[in-house]
């Protein structure tokens, strides 16, 4: 028995139970999902795809992977699905490879405005292998007329939408029309909003995009991993060979089993209610902060941005550290027009996917907004704030009971 690792897992479990988790990209996977991910399926090599493996003994993992594929197809109304990407970044790498030659031109949103590292950041593989140009946000929002103008000018091979820190719904149909006008491909990275899409509280990009990538561990509430969907058979074949053998080796069948369970859970009525609760809770917290005078973005999804610099005279990193003192976990984030560097920032990204899983109510979310405001503006002591946090958390499910 590895006592040290067991102790560290226990400490992390206690930390997760103790705190209010507002990192917008996190969630709590169910016991069934955690058991699948911790199962003996981790022992099995199964390079290739169901029915076409490089190893023997794959009869059961073939069924696991086929089940994951068919459930994902149904959940997102997609004709073809690859469930093997180990992460969202790997899914994006494989999707670019399937869609474009090396050096192809991609029009995306830059990291500082809410895009992801893999959307063309110079520190990621993406900018190394592809030629990225970016469209701006106007007052923190996509401006589709501006996007059209830039697309006409830049003539990209691909427009990429779907973001890491964008608080509004995305009009995929509008972007598809722009792609048609300029004659380019359309890819959506729905990593953040996949759970909202599954629950039908956000438009489904699979209807419009040539390829959709995702993670399975954010609003979708599954195991840590990636996913690629398309309705185009020719692209599907290219996606499959981009995932294996180009970028990855043997698939993680224990994680694929967890993904299959996640897709089943996400197709339930209780998940639909959960997703609506996430939206309502996010809005309740955003409204509470706004009504007290804090400067916040609007929110149409599971997250919003809080301008901590103008609201409290604190940089994003200082606000993040201060909230962490009382067990409220957030992350520093650039806000529209931010003049500070990404390691400082002028704001925070705040999301309600995780705490809603634990049973956070709208009233709790409102009170969390008030608590953030009072603590960041030094209106309550650390001791009082800590008491409020433990009172809130004491009414929620423990993460091992989820």
Does 121 help bind ligand PLP (rule: CB under 6 A)? Answer: no
Does 25 help bind ligand PLP (rule: CB under 6 A)? Answer: yes
Q: Which helix (H) or strand (E) holds 390?
A: helix 382-394
Q: Please spell the DSSP secondary structure of 161-210, one letter per residue.
A: E--SS--S---HHHHHHHHHHHT-EEEEE-TTTHHHHHTTSS--GGGT-S
User: How would you class 344 by CB atoms within 10 Å of its CB: exposed for 0-12, middle for 13-18, buried for 19 or more?
Assistant: middle
Span from 81-89, 147-155, 170-178, 342-350 in contact with ligand PLP (CB under 6 A) = 81-89
Q: Which of 47, 62, 207, 287 is catalytic?
A: 47
The minimum distance between CB 380 and ligand PLP, in angstroms, equals 32
Judged by beta carbon, residue 179 or residue 187, the one nearer ligand PLP is 187
189 is known as an active-site residue = yes
Judged by beta carbon, residue 201 or residue 385, the one nearer ligand PLP is 201
Nearest-angstrom CA–CA distance, 239 and 228 = 8
224 is known as an active-site residue = yes
Nearest-angstrom CA–CA distance, 55 and 33 = 26
Q: Which helix (H) or strand (E) holds 20?
A: strand 20-21
> Cα–Cα–Cα angle for 261, 263, 268, nearest 5°?
100
Among 53, 71, 97, 116, binds ligand PLP (CB under 6 A): 116
Centroid of chain to Cα 62: 27
Among 89, 261, 308, 367, binds ligand PLP (CB under 6 A): 89
Span from 93-101, 188-196, 233-241, 310-318 in contact with ligand PLP (CB under 6 A) = 188-196
Judged by beta carbon, residue 213 or residue 240, the one nearer ligand PLP is 213
Q: Which of 218, 221, 238, 349 is catalytic?
A: 218
Residue (of 73, 86, 48, 71) closest to 254 by Cα position = 86
Q: Which residues of 54-87 are buried (b: 16+ CB within 10 A; e: fewer)?
A: eeeebeebbebbbbbbebbbebbebebbbbbbbb
Judged by beta carbon, residue 134 or residue 366, the one nearer ligand PLP is 134
Span from 94-102, 127-135, 161-169, 370-378 in contact with ligand PLP (CB under 6 A) = 161-169
Q: Which residue has the tokens 């690629």?
A: 228
Does 192 help bind ligand PLP (rule: CB under 6 A)? Answer: yes
Among 21, 65, 189, 364, binds ligand PLP (CB under 6 A): 189
Give me the residue whose beta carbon is nearest to ligand PLP.
Answer: 88
The minimum distance between CB 203 and ligand PLP, in angstroms, equals 16
Does 349 help bind ligand PLP (rule: CB under 6 A)? Answer: no
Q: Which of 215, 219, 330, 345 is catalytic?
A: 215
- Residues numbered 205-234 forming contacts with ligand PLP, rule: CB under 6 A: 215
Residue (of 296, 285, 278) closest to 336 by Cα position = 296
Cβ-Cβ contacts under 8 Å for 278 (sequence gap 6 or more): 195, 196, 219, 302, 352, 353, 356
215 is known as an active-site residue = yes
47 is known as an active-site residue = yes
45 is known as an active-site residue = yes
The minimum distance between CB 60 and ligand PLP, in angstroms, equals 26
Centroid of chain to Cα 320: 20
Does 267 help bind ligand PLP (rule: CB under 6 A)? Answer: no
The minimum distance between CB 338 and ligand PLP, in angstroms, equals 18
Q: Please spell the DSSP secondary structure of 208-233, one letter per residue.
A: T-SEEEEESSSTT---S-EEEEES-H
- Catalytic residue set: 45, 47, 189, 215, 218, 224
């Amino acid at each position: 028995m590895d006592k040290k690792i067991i102790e560290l897992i226990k400490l992390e479990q206690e930390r997760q139970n103790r705190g209010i988790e507002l990192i917008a990209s996190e969630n709590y996977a169910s016991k069934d999902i955690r058991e699948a991910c911790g199962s003996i399926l981790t022992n099995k090599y199964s390079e290739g795809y169901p029915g076409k493996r490089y190893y023997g003994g794959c009869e059961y993992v073939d069924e696991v992977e086929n089940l994951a594929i068919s459930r994902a197809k149904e959940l997102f109304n997609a004709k073809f699905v690859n469930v093997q990407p180990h992460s969202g970044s790997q899914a994006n790498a494989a999707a670019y490879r399937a869609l474009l030659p090396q050096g192809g031109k991609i029009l995306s949103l830059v990291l500082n405005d809410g895009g992801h590292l893999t959307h063309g950041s110079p520190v990621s593989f993406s900018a190394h292998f592809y030629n990225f140009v970016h469209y701006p946000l106007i007052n923190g929002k996509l401006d589709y007329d501006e996007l059209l103008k830039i697309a006409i000018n830049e003539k990209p091979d691909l427009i990429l939408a779907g973001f890491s820190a964008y608080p509004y719904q995305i009009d995929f149909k509008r972007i598809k029309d722009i792609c048609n006008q300029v004659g380019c491909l359309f890819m959506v990275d729905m990593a953040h909003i996949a759970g909202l899409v599954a629950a039908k509280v956000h438009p489904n990009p699979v209807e419009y995009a040539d390829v959709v990538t995702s993670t399975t561990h954010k609003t979708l509430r599954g195991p840590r991993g990636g996913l690629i969907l398309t309705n185009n058979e020719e692209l599907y074949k290219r996606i499959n060979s981009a995932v294996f053998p180009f970028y990855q080796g043997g698939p993680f069948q224990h994680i694929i089993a967890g993904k299959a369970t996640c897709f089943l859970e996400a197709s339930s009525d209780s998940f639909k209610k959960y997703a609506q609760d996430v939206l309502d809770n996010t809005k309740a917290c955003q409204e509470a902060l706004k009504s007290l005078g804090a400067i916040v973005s609007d929110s149409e999804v599971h997250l919003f941005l809080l301008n901590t610099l103008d609201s409290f005279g604190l940089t994003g990193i200082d606000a993040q550290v201060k909230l962490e003192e009382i067990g409220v976990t957030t992350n520093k984030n650039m806000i529209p027009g931010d003049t500070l560097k990404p390691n400082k920032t002028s704001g925070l990204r705040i999301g309600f996917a995780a705490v809603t899983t634990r049973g956070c109510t709208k009233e709790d979310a409102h009170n969390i907004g008030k608590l953030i405001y009072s603590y960041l503006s030094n209106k309550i002591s650390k001791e009082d704030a800590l008491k409020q946090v433990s009172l809130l958390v004491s009414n929620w499910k423990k993460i091992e009971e989820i």
